[in-house]
Structure formats: C-alpha cells, structure tokens
Structure 1
Amino acid sequence: MAEGQPVVDPSISITLPMFGGGAHTTLGDTLLIETLAHFARERIPERVVHAKGVGAWGEFEVTNPEISKYTCAKFLDTVGKKTPILWRLSTTGGEKGSADTVRDVRGFSVKFFTEEGNYDIVGNHIPVFFVRDPMRFPSLNRSHKRHPATNRPDDTMFWDFHVNQPESVHALMHLFGSRGLPDSVRRVPGFGVHTFKLVDNSGNFYYCKWHFRPEGGTTSFATAADAASTASQNPDYHHKDVWDAIAHGDYPVWKLYLQIMRPEQAESVGRALFDITKIWPHRDFPLIEVGKMTLKKNPQNYFAEIEQAAFSPSNMVPGVAMTPDPMLQARMFAYPDAQRYRIGVNYTQLPPNRSIAPVYAPYERDGITTTKNYGSDPNYVNSTLSPGVPARAVTQIRHLESVPRTSSFGLNEIPVGEEDYVQPRQLWQRVFDDAERMKWVGNCAGTLRDVPAPLRNAVVQMFSKVDPLIGKMLTAKMNEDKLHL
C-alpha cells in the first residue's frame, strides 16, 4: 500500500459473502478505497494554453568567449561551460489530446539549471506575437479555442478578434506561411520574443533578444493537406519524431544567438524596442552566436518530468533583467500564478523545476505537498536567529532589478497605424518568394470559406493594407474556391 504495508494481491478486492449467495466489497478494503480515490484525482488541470507539448532533457554549451563581456551571468562566463537544460515545445490552442500537426504557433521553452538558479527562456517559434497589450491576452487565446456554443474551433470567432485587433497582422503573416506547419519539432526555431536586458560586472546594460536556430535548418510540410493527412494517421507525430531521434542517438541541436542593442541605439528602433508585434532588423542588429543546445535524454515518466514542468519568464538569474515591455511584465506574474493553480504552491520543489543551486527562502514555506520546510528556521525576513541569504547575493539581485530604464517610449495604448504594416509588408515583399505567397494565400483563404461576407471583406481589407496584391489574390482565390464547390 501507499503507506508501506504489504498486501497479498494488489490486483483483487476483498469481498464478503452475502446471505443467499454472491459477495460484496466493503469499506474495510482500504487498498480498494485508496486505489479508487487516487485514480479519481490522478489528473491535474492541463495548461490553459500550450496544453500539448513534447519535452526532453539536454545540455547547453557556451561557444563564444565574447558573450561574457555583455553579462555577468555565470552560466555564460566560459567557453565550453555546460549547463543542464529541460526543453518543451508545444502547440498553443489545442487540448492535450489534440493533433501535433495543426497550423498553430508553437511554444518554445528552455529551463537552464544554472549555479545561480533556474533561468527560463519562454517564447514561441515565430519572432513576433499577436498583441502588445496584456489585457488582450485572454481574449486572444479564447478566440483561437472552441466556440462556447458549438464546442468547435471557429474561423469566424478567430477572424473577428484579429480584424478588431489588427496589430496582430504581422504574426498572422508568419502563421499562415510555411512556418505555421512545421514537419518536425527538431527543425523548429525558437524566439524569446520579448526584449530583455543583459547586465555586465560593471553595471552596464544592453538590450537583447534571444534566438534558437535548429542546426538542421527549418523545415515544414509541403501543404496543409500533408499535415492533415499526417494528423489523421498519427496525431502524436511530433512526439514520436523527437523521441525516436533521441532514442537512436540522433540528438537534436540548436544554436543559441543574441541580438544586442546598446542603450544609445534604442531611439533608432522606436516602438520596436518593447513592442512584441515587431522585430529588430538583423541588418542593424546581427545575430551573435552564444552557444549550442543539445537534447540527449527522453523523459522516463512524462507526467513527472514534462507535465509537471513549470516555465516562466520571471525566472531570471543575475546578469539578465526585465524591461518595461507590458506583455513581459504581465507574463512574469501570470505564468507562476498558473503553475500555482495547476500543480500547487510548492511546484518549485518538484523534480523538473527544482534548482540545482542552494535555495534558502524560509519565508516561502508550508502549504500543500511541501518537501522542504527549513526545519526550525523562523519564517520571516531578516531574522537574527538563522543564517539567511548571503548579503552579497541579495544586493546583486536587487541591483539588477533597479537598472535604469529608458523613459522615452510611452507604453500607453498605441493605436494601430501605418507603422504596424511596415514589417509585415517587408516579410511579404522581400522574404516570401512567389511560391510562398501563393501558399500563404491558399492557407488563409481556406479559413475564410465559411466566414460571413462582411467579416471576410474586413479580413481582405486588413491584409490589403499590408500590400494591395494580398487583397486581390485572396479575393481571387476565394472566388476560385467557390466555383469548385
């Protein structure tokens, strides 16, 4: 039994004979009661978004000695230094039982188990996001999920949200391109999306963005039909792909890069500094190699190691700091709060989240399922009755949080204007080739087939602001599809 008592046969219940024949179980069969009670409670709430994900263990190795001049983070201070990591990649909108190969933004998360505590990069597989105001985040995700009446994904609901929040047009350009249907999670890029700060030993700071690039290049399904066919045959296709690769020693590898911006360059990028619907141009802020991440070990128990894994952009180490990005600020609260609800207030003590660095925080104690409770140490800050946290560590962390911030960028409501269409237009005109443009139009038009005409026209008008050609091609494709119905 769970309390350690031996049992004769755990596969049968105890029964007592009944008068007149037959038998019945009793409440005295504590093993039966315990087994049924635990079974009814063995599920935990799935993630509200990113519910279905594949994960693996690995390591990160520093390859560039120049990185240490930008940050005092110890896990980046020496070439060849290796840090254990936990990686998870997920779809966003679907439930745990949904198919892997749907068109969706993938979540790309990495937890670095450093000597100074856990550092999480929690991003996506596209470089921008749909909204820049955190108040819109719940509505965004609801619009990508099931309709409350039909309980089915709903294209009308999807497009109604985005037409009314056209700041999402840049992310939509990525989503309906080839990148929206990756054919292998081993070939998926990752982006931190937000702007962060790096801080050096002298207290100087630099703005930065994180980029993971798969060593084997980025690949996608040739057509949406191919992805749908794969989903019908194996809805867990991506899970099998990465598991088999690791099991056979074909370890997935990503190179980690940084874009770095000096504070005096911030004015040159304007709103793009903290607006996650925009990128930093690579020609102005080229990628600098940091190191490589290699996945080497599959989980031995998915629930214990991946389902209970908790990632948050609030998990930072000395040498990395937050910025006034409103979406980042909101996520730094919302993500840990979601984990407290989903797996409990002491989720940081679970194996996939447990720091390898010493943890001393007796003012965070007690609660459900705690495994470390600090013995007789008083449970308040600045006690003279226990050793506490070394003063230098506290001073350093507080210093990083108080790094001066630029004050020249207003973070109030920003109306959608011409600036929001510039980068999507560059993506369409300079990055997409003719074949990709045709594919994009076909992918987008397919979701507009059953949308009411006024909304369909509004979608065409929104993309026409990116480039009039998109509107014309969408209209032509929809008329063509209508003729073939």
Structure 2
Amino acid sequence: MDNKKVLTTSLAKPIDNDQASLTTGKKVGYTLMGDVDLFQKLAHFNRERIPERVVHAKGSGAFGYFEVTNDLSKYTMAKFLKGVGKKTPVLARFSTVGGEKGSADTARDPRGFALKFYTEDGNYDLVGNNTPVFFIRDAIKFPDFIHTQKRDPQNNLKDPNMFWDFLSLTPESLLQVMRLFSNLGTPKGFRHMDGFGSHTFMWYNEKKDYHWIKYHFLTDQGIENFTQDEAILMAGKNPDYATQDLFNAIEKGNYPSWSCYIQIMTPKQASNYRFNPFDVTKTWDETDFPLIPLGKLVLNRNPDNFFAEIEQAAFAPSHFVPGIGPSPDKLLQGRLIAYTDAHNHRLGPNSFQIPVNTPNYSNPYTNQRDGMMTVNGNFGSHPNYYPTTLADVAVTPSVSLPPMPVDGIIAKHTIESDEQDYILPGEFFNTMDHHEKAHTIYNLTQSLMLANPNLQYRQTALFYKVDPILGNSIAEVLGLDKMKVHELANLTQEERVKATLKPYTFYKE
C-alpha cells in the first residue's frame, strides 16, 4: 500500500475529493466558483481532443526494430543500413485513408503503412501504403481526390457519384482502383498485408553516386483478406478488428514481421525506361528490376499510451537522413511540403519535441527556436543564428544530395494519359485466378451500381479498355448496353467525358 499513487491536480496538488463538487448545501446548493479543481478538470476535458488527421485518421501502431540482412551500403551512405545485423528502433503506424477516427478498420480503402526509423543521423520516415501505386500522379489533384473520398458538402454523406465521377475522369487511377476493388482492398488486419514506399526514392553514397529505388515490405504472416461481405459483417461486429488484432498478437508475443526488399534502377535505365519511372500510378516490372533483400521489420512492443505515442506521432515524407533523398515524383514533391504543414496545424510548430517524434539517437542542434510548447530547454544561451563566431557550430557539406541535371521549360506540365494507364491494370487483372476475378467484378459492381448511369457507362468503358472480359462482365451485371460501352471505349477520354455528361439521360431511347 505504500506505493499507492496519490491523485493530484496537473500541478501536483493533492486532491481531497474527486467525486463531489464544492457546493453551498448537501441536498440543494449551488456550485461555487471557488472549486478550482472542478473547473480545471472541466477546462482540460474541453481541450482533450486535437484535430484529427485530414487523411489516415483511423489507425493503430506499435514499436519494434529494423534489422539489416543484406549489406547494400555501396548504394547509400545511410548509417542505419550499413552492416548485416545492424538494428534500428522503429515506430510503425497503420491506418485507413478516407475514414474518420471512429470509422471501421475493415472499410474498402488503401491502408497506410508509415515507419519512423530512429537513426543516429536523425529520424527517417517512410510514409507509404499497402499498395505500390496511388490514384493520382500530381499533388495538385490530392485535395480534390480526398474530397471525393470524404463526405458530400450538402448532406454530409458518402457519395458514390462524387467517388466515381472523379475516378472516371482520371484514367491514371485504374491500377490503384483495380487493387482497391480486389480483395486486397479489405485486408484481414494490418499483420496480413504488405507495405510499400510507393514512390521512387534516391539512394546515394559517399561518392555521390546515386540510384533510384523502391521499397517493398512483404508480410511474413502471409496475405489474408476479407471478402466484401465478410468485411461489411466485421465492420458491424468489431469495427476495431485490425487495431485489436495487432495489439493482441503483440501482447501474446506473436510479433508480426515483414521482409524488406528494394528495386534498384540506374539513372541511365530511368532515362530509357518505357514509361516515366517516377510516376506513382505505375509499378516497375520485377523482371526488369528484381526484388533485392534488404532487411527485416519486427514489431514487438505495444504503445504504453495510445494518445502520447500513436495519435501524436508525426510522419513526414520529407524526413530523410544522409544517403536517402526524394525523386522527381510529382506527388512526392507535394507531400514533402504538405505533411510538415499538417503537423504544424495538428500538433504545433514544435511537434518534434513530443517524445515519440524526438530524434533520441542523434544530437539535434537547430536554430528553429521558440514557438508554442517549447519544452526542450530551447538550447539555452546558444546563439539562434548561423553563421556565428559566438559558438562552435559547423555545417556538414559531405551529406549534401548529389548534383542533379535539370533541363526543361518552367510550366504547369500535364502528364497526359497513355496506354500504360490501361496495360498495367490489365496485367494485374490477369494475374488473378477465376475466383479473384469474380470477387473483383462483384466488388466493383456493388459500388458502381450506386452511381448514376452515365458514370457507370464512363467507368465501365475504362474497364473495357483495361480488359474486354472485365468491361463486359461489369456491363452485364449493371445491365448496361455492351455495344455502347464498346463505342465509348473507342473514343478519346475527352470525347468519352463529353458523351457521358448528363446523368440519367445517357443513351436514353
């Protein structure tokens, strides 16, 4: 009993009674303004919630480590990747993308796969998904795309017309749409899905030789998915299924792990490849660029406090370490700016001082001082500018990115749709067996049937271009005129959109 904790206020004043307010009488009485314990408790309660993430709001996470199993340090000067057996502490957060904090873990949605490596050169964040591609390839489209995944501004309901209108106007989305509406779109918990960096990144070594790479984290637990009907049922029975599954597995000592591989492309290969290798809507062919083993990710510790260690975790694609950098991927370039700005809104300008975000295995020294919630001593009396002769401070030129050639015209360049936008999703569809194809067609039609007929025709024509069997099968289930679907498929995208503008009246006899 000597170790019993004494209940106090936030300033450590012992509390005499936390079950009754201070009033003028026992049975009938008014609460007094002098009850500072009551008002402090209520005031803090009013401020407990912070803004939820604008995307990836619902999620869970755990701690563990990354261990190098294959030394690829000839490609990168990143210290945490040097030497077989090298271990680096890691925080992982998994999430859905479009849903709010209280939404179901089993919703048909991509899953976030975010990693924070606590390295000796600072924190490195790899902020990916359980898919190797995304719906769009230019960051300027991202707010509009997410608006269509959220709620209608008038009735605050999810709107299948918004959803399919945007996607049918964006053929580059087709590979991601095919993955989303396969059973991969409803993984059976976070442990049974793969993870990807999705974007192309740069690795460079001490000589400033650089290569382009992609990350793959393949689950050691095996891929397991819900069917559409199973996912809907589980959303009602246990909307926190994936969160509970991850937590319980780790508590029982059943530590989930992923084997990490990379693909490597030389600058010359990148300049000659059959499509833009920095286009995040496309995958690199593994026969051209085989998977090379790199390491093992293991999660072996649950958070002690969800809010402190998971909700306040701040991941950003711009958090690199020497040896790793960005690529010209246009979506990645926008994310480099957006995520840090989102953290400034959600957590404040000093989010890196929150313990879970602090680079504990390096020695930060920055002139980014002051601001709300500065709690790290603010570097005391040290000068807050550079250059200075009042302190012994130096920069490190050796960690700079390799010089990159640039040759082009400054303009808002549109990346036009091409046949690869249809070929790659067609190849993905034809890797499926009969049952997987049937599930994908069922999943697509269950969603498309809720949209207006003109949108059904427009999107089904795109699916016909992906694969005629896919397009015809969807048209048959939806009761669409197959000949009209074929006609639309043979039009240009501009002509196809023009022919399907009016809801309910398209091809009306």
Please, what TM-score do these two structures have when normalized by structure 1? 0.94
Establish whether residue 334 from structure 1 lines up as the match of residue 359 from structure 2.
no
Helix, strand or coil at the partner of 2:173 = helix
1:270 touches 1:409 (CA, 8 Å); kept in 2? no
- Displacement of 1:407: 5.0
* Alignment CA distance shift 1:98-1:409 (3 Å): farther
Distance in 1, Cα, partners of 2:115 & 2:433: 32
2:419 aligned partner: 418
Q: 2:369 aligns with which of 337, 358, 365?
A: 365
Number of aligned residue pairs: give it: 470
**Any stretches of 5+ residues in structure 2 without a counterpart?**
1-8, 481-509
Question: Percent identity among equivalent residues?
Answer: 44
Establish whether residue 60 from structure 1 lines up as the match of residue 62 from structure 2.
no
1:272 touches 1:280 (CA, 8 Å); kept in 2? no
* Alignment CA distance shift 1:90-1:432 (3 Å): same
2:347 aligned partner: 343
2:251 touches 2:302 (CA, 8 Å); kept in 1? yes
Helix, strand or coil at the partner of 1:16 = coil
2:160 aligned partner: 155
Task: Render the CA deviation track for 1:392-424: whole Å, top value 9, x for unaligned.
Answer: xx3133x22x43257589982112122211111
2:270 aligned partner: 266
The one-letter code matched in structure 2 to 1:12 is A
Q: 1:134 aligns with which of 116, 130, 139?
A: 139
Task: Render the CA deviation track for 1:3-58: whole Å, top value 9, x for unaligned.
Answer: 2222212332212249xx82211221111111111000010000010000010000
Distance in 2, Cα, partners of 1:212 & 1:463: 29
Please, what TM-score do these two structures have when normalized by structure 2? 0.89
Helix, strand or coil at the partner of 2:344 = helix
2:477 aligned partner: 477
The one-letter code matched in structure 2 to 1:364 is Q
Distance in 2, Cα, partners of 1:466 & 1:271: 17
The one-letter code matched in structure 2 to 1:128 is V
1:186 aligned partner: 191
Q: 1:293 aligns with which of 297, 303, 306?
A: 297
Helix, strand or coil at the partner of 1:356 = coil
Q: 1:12 aligns with which of 6, 10, 20?
A: 20
Q: 1:395 aligns with which of 392, 397, 408?
A: 397
Map residues 46-445 of structure 1 onto 2, 5 A cutoff. 46-65=52-71, 67-221=72-226, 223-372=227-376, 373-388=378-393, 390-391=394-395, 394-397=396-399, 399-400=400-401, 402-405=402-405, 407=407, 412-429=413-430, 431-445=431-445
1:70 touches 1:206 (CA, 8 Å); kept in 2? yes
**Any stretches of 5+ residues in structure 1 without a counterpart?**
481-485
1:62 touches 1:79 (CA, 8 Å); kept in 2? yes
Distance in 1, Cα, partners of 2:383 & 2:24: 52
Distance in 2, Cα, partners of 1:407 & 1:446: 47
1:100 touches 1:237 (CA, 8 Å); kept in 2? yes
1:2 aligned partner: 10
- Displacement of 1:362: 4.0
Distance in 2, Cα, partners of 1:92 & 1:441: 23
Helix, strand or coil at the partner of 2:389 = coil
Distance in 2, Cα, partners of 1:83 & 1:58: 9
* Alignment CA distance shift 1:87-1:32 (3 Å): same
Helix, strand or coil at the partner of 2:105 = coil
The one-letter code matched in structure 1 to 2:18 is P
Helix, strand or coil at the partner of 1:383 = coil
- Displacement of 1:206: 0.5
Task: Render the CA deviation track for 1:91-117: whole Å, top value 9, x for unaligned.
Answer: 001000000001100110000000000
1:35 aligned partner: 41
1:117 touches 1:357 (CA, 8 Å); kept in 2? yes
The one-letter code matched in structure 1 to 2:54 is V
